[in-house]
């Protein structure tokens, strides 16, 4: 492949095809480095600051290289954007005959079998769910792809989708009467034939897991894998290389079995009774814990009264359920599938109770309505490194946040096993082209108490209020815990009411993330108080967002069971868990949160980080130096003056 630089020139094909396109030196250098890695089948780890234009920087060399490429993203939103907008744009500009395909997890596609069965069954909690399922039924008759993202009449989080899609557990596979028209199979066939396949990290790792178990490849063999939003990979890999049994899965199994029994074995009353018993065992296990969400080690969970008893009761209920189901399984493909699921679930539960692998972290996650028994690997580096050492191909890892300090990729490369590769990975950093010194101010308020002080949350709200007033709304207040988020929301509401500032204040949880962002953008003068789920993947360019307040450095809670086990493991190896794990992760998270503020050349605003440890502690300077090169101040008056100098918000609508 030749040098991609001419493609990005002012008189090149991208400028001719895209109105307002401007070449950026960082983008050209990044494209050249990726072209080199593709040519030589190398591993490249590349950080590219916001505004670099990294999407085009990897698409151009990937399309010019020929061969087959998989592009994996962190979110379905970016996946859709790549497939529907960016890839077609670059392909048309380059005039290359490249075929492209979009592949998502099966839960994103309408399942003819489950839709038909549940529409006929007609049992719904609300009239809205029933109306949504009717809308999905109409969509299924018209769509070419079955992708739920195209069904705009039904909300993405509608419960009707559970009745209209399949899971890996309840898919009938080759036994399905609708296999010839299956949208999932169609999407996979398209992916096998395409030159460029766009997937997401969850699907990629699901395939890696299937490959490891010898169950066949979901994704086709390829010449290059490109990971965008690659900072998410270690966390996603941990999910997929581990194992889990949840009460939600148990309830779904009971519900599906009851539906299949009514359809194919109505005379077996004992089976219906067993589904009720299984549901009760799952709900009783969840009731061991209070209403609040929590993450506990297996040992901590075992200290709760009746936990071990209820896990054992669930295991027995599954065994009793299996005994009856085995007598009915031959009566339909659906019942046969439920039997297979019961056997797999029983194996996972038995393995969780008495694990053979000592390298697994056993822990319990309690949600509002359910509970999961998880087994997570201590580290994913060995498993991931095996994938890289298979078929020779290029591997590109890119994100706006991978390095610690200016260019230290040690933490990231160790987590994914890249550090021990021969030859070692190529690495590169390109800073953002934005003029941060002109566009933004970093404000670290003086006189803040230690983050563990009883009045810390109140002090954060006190710091935020004058800034919010000066910005006339247009603010994200990002918190590191849900408790702090709720309290800060209350305090901001009270403070604005007392001063007579009529600004809309939104709270995470009042709607889906998509809905809240749409409301925030539409209002133009809103304040959004949120926690971790808004720290990344959120894009609000323009003057609707001019202030980001972060309450604390986002260190994972020390009592988190997965972190605690990894800390203990690193200590045994003679490593400093803080230096080698906790601090690098915090820096990367911090860079993500800070990255919400400046999204384009025209954006201006203030980033306020309340945590005094960034200034007072030696490790805080690592965070400080990793943030974009904004002007910096400790004085509230400077921050207020900067915000007051911005143009007023557009009229809220």
Average pLDDT score, the chain:
89
pLDDT for position 328:
93
Q: How far apart are the first and last CA of the chain?
A: 50
Beta carbons within 8 Å of 345's beta carbon, 6+ residues apart: 245, 249, 250, 253, 318
Name the residue ranges covered by the structural domains of the chain.
5-99+194-239+380-430, 106-179, 243-377, 436-644
Closest CA to 260 of 198, 337, 373, 156: 337
- Encoded tokens for 397: 């890892």
Supply the CATH classification number for the domain 243-377: 1.10.275
pLDDT band at 39 (very low <50, low <70, confident <90, very high): very high
Quote the CA–CA distance of 8 and 70 in Å, as a whole number: 23
Angle at alpha carbon of residue 21, lines to 18 and 22, rounded to 5° = 160
Quote the CA–CA distance of 225 and 384 in Å, as a whole number: 13
Quote the CA–CA distance of 206 and 589 in Å, as a whole number: 25
In 3-state terms, the chain is what percent helix, strand and coil (to 5)? 50, 15, 35
DSSP state, 652?
A: P
What digits encode the pLDDT tens for the residues 250-305?
999 999 999 899 989 999 999 999 999 999 999 999 999 998 888 999 999 999 99
Mean pLDDT of 468-478: 94
Q: What is the dihedral of CA 220, 221, 226, 227, to 10 degrees?
A: 60
Residue 179 burial (10 A CB sphere; 0-12, 13-18, 19+): middle
Quote the CA–CA distance of 608 and 441 in Å, as a whole number: 8
- Minimum mean pLDDT among 183-187, 210-214, 479-483, 550-554: which range? 210-214
Quote the CA–CA distance of 203 and 200 in Å, as a whole number: 5
- Encoded tokens for 424: 């070692």
Q: Which residue has the tokens 């997937």?
A: 199
Beta strands in 313-450 (DSSP E): 360-366, 371-377, 394-399, 426-430, 440-443
- Encoded tokens for 104: 């998502």
Residue 46 pLDDT > 90: yes
What digits encode the pLDDT tens for the residues 90-109?
999 999 999 999 998 888 99
Residue 125 pLDDT > 70: no
- Minimum mean pLDDT among 76-85, 137-146, 322-331: which range? 76-85
Supply the CATH classification number for the domain 436-644: 3.40.50.300
CA dihedral (26, 29, 33, 39) positive or negative:
positive
Quote the CA–CA distance of 74 and 222 in Å, as a whole number: 20
**Helix ranges, 395-455 (H):** 410-415, 436-439
Q: Please list, residue by residue across 119-129, b when 16 or more beta carbons sit within 10 angstroms of its beta carbon and e when fewer do.
A: beeeebeeeeb
Say if strands 547-550 and 475-478 run parallel, antiparallel, or are unpaired: parallel
- Encoded tokens for 288: 């061991």
pLDDT band at 49 (very low <50, low <70, confident <90, very high): confident
- Minimum mean pLDDT among 46-60, 577-591, 633-647: which range? 577-591
**CATH 3.90.1150.10 is held by the domain 5-99+194-239+380-430:** no
DSSP state, 578?
A: I
Contact criterion met (CB below 8 Å) for 254 and 278: yes
DSSP three-state, residue 616:
helix
- Encoded tokens for 101: 């395909």
- Minimum mean pLDDT among 403-412, 455-464, 622-631: which range? 403-412
Quote the CA–CA distance of 341 and 235 in Å, as a whole number: 26
What digits encode the pLDDT tens for the residues 170-187?
888 888 889 889 999 899
Report pTM: 0.85
DSSP three-state, residue 492:
helix
Quote the CA–CA distance of 15 and 92 in Å, as a whole number: 12
Quote the CA–CA distance of 467 and 548 in Å, as a whole number: 10
Beta carbons within 8 Å of 346's beta carbon, 6+ residues apart: 315, 318, 319, 322
Higher pLDDT, 210 or 505: 505
Strands ordered across the beta sheet of 294-297: 243-246, 371-377, 360-366, 294-297
Mean pLDDT of 51-69: 92
pLDDT for position 196:
94
- Encoded tokens for 579: 């230096």
Closest CA to 614 of 527, 545, 550: 550
Quote the CA–CA distance of 371 and 286 in Å, as a whole number: 6
Residue 220 pLDDT > 80: no
pLDDT for position 653:
45
The total of other beta-carbon atoms located within 10 Å of residue 269's CB is 10
pLDDT for position 462:
96
Quote the CA–CA distance of 476 and 506 in Å, as a whole number: 10
The total of other beta-carbon atoms located within 10 Å of residue 574's CB is 6
Domain 5-99+194-239+380-430 shares a fold with domain 436-644? yes
Residue 467 pLDDT > 90: yes
Quote the CA–CA distance of 249 and 255 in Å, as a whole number: 10
Q: Which residue has the tokens 């050249």?
A: 32
pLDDT for position 214:
43
């Amino acid at each position: 492949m030749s040098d991609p630089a001419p493609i990005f020139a002012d008189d090149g094909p991208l400028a001719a095809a895209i109105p307002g396109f401007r070449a950026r030196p960082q983008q050209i250098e990044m494209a050249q480095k990726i072209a080199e890695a593709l040519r030589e089948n190398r591993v490249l780890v590349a950080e590219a600051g916001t505004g670099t234009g990294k999407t085009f920087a990897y698409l151009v060399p990937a399309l010019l290289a020929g061969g087959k490429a998989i592009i994996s993203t962190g979110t379905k939103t970016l996946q859709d954007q790549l497939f529907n907008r960016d890839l077609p744009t670059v392909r048309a500009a380059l005039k290359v005959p490249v075929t492209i395909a979009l592949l998502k997890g099966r839960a994103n596609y309408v399942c003819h079998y489950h839709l038909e069965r549940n529409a006929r069954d007609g049992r719904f909690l609300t009239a809205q769910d029933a109306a949504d399922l009717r809308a999905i039924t109409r969509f299924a008759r018209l769509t070419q792809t079955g992708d739920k993202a195209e069904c705009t009449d039904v909300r993405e989080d509608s419960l009707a989708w559970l009745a209209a899609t399949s899971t890996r557990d309840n898919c009938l596979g080759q036994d399905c009467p609708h296999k010839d028209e299956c949208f999932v199979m169609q999407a996979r066939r398209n992916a096998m034939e395409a030159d460029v396949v766009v997937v997401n990290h969850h699907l990629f790792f699901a395939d890696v897991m299937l490959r490891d178990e010898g169950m066949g490849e979901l994704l086709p063999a390829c010449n290059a894998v490109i990971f965008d939003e690659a900072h998410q990979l270690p966390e996603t890999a941990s999910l997929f290389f581990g194992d889990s049994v949840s009460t939600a899965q148990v309830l779904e199994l009971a519900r599906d079995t009851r539906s299949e029994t009514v359809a194919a074995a109505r005379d077996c009353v004992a089976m219906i009774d067993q589904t009720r018993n299984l549901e009760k065992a799952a709900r009783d296990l969840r009731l061991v814990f209070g209403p609040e969400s929590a993450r506990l080690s297996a040992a901590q969970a075992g200290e709760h009264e009746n936990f071990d008893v209820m896990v054992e009761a669930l295991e027995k209920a599954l065994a009793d359920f299996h005994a009856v189901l085995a007598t009915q399984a031959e009566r339909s493909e659906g019942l046969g599938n439920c039997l297979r699921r019961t056997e797999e679930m029983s194996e996972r539960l038995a393995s969780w109770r008495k694990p053979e692998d000592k390298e697994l972290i056993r822990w319990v996650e309690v949600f509002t309505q359910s509970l999961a028994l998880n087994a997570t690997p201590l580290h994913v580096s060995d498993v991931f490194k095996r994938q890289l050492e298979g078929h020779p191909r290029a591997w590109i890892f890119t994100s706006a946040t991978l390095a610690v300090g200016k260019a230290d990729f040690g933490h990231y490369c160790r987590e994914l096993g890249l550090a021990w590769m021969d030859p070692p990975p190529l690495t590169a950093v390109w800073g953002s082209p934005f003029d941060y010194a002109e566009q933004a101010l970093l404000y670290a308020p003086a006189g803040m108490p230690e983050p563990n002080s009883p009045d810390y949350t109140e002090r954060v709200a006190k710091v935020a209020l004058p800034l919010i007033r000066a910005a006339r709304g247009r603010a994200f207040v990002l918190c590191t815990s849900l408790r702090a988020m709720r309290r800060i929301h209350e305090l901001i509401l009270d403070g604005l009411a007392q001063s007579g500032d009529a600004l809309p204040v939104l709270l995470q949880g009042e709607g889906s993330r998509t809905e809240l962002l749409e409301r925030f953008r539409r209002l133009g003068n809103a304040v959004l108080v949120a926690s971790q789920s808004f720290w990344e993947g959120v894009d609000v360019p323009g003057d609707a967002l001019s202030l980001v307040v972060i309450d604390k450095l986002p260190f994972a809670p020390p009592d988190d069971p997965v972190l605690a086990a990894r800390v203990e493991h690193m200590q045994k190896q003679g490593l400093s868990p803080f230096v080698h794990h906790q601090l690098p992760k915090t820096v990367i998270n911090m860079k993500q949160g800070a990255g919400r503020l400046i999204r384009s050349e025209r954006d201006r605003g203030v980033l306020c980080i309340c945590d005094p440890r960034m200034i007072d502690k030696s490790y805080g300077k690592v965070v400080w130096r990793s943030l974009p090169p904004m002007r910096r101040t400790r004085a509230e008056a400077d921050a207020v003056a900067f915000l007051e100098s911005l143009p007023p918000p557009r009229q809220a609508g």
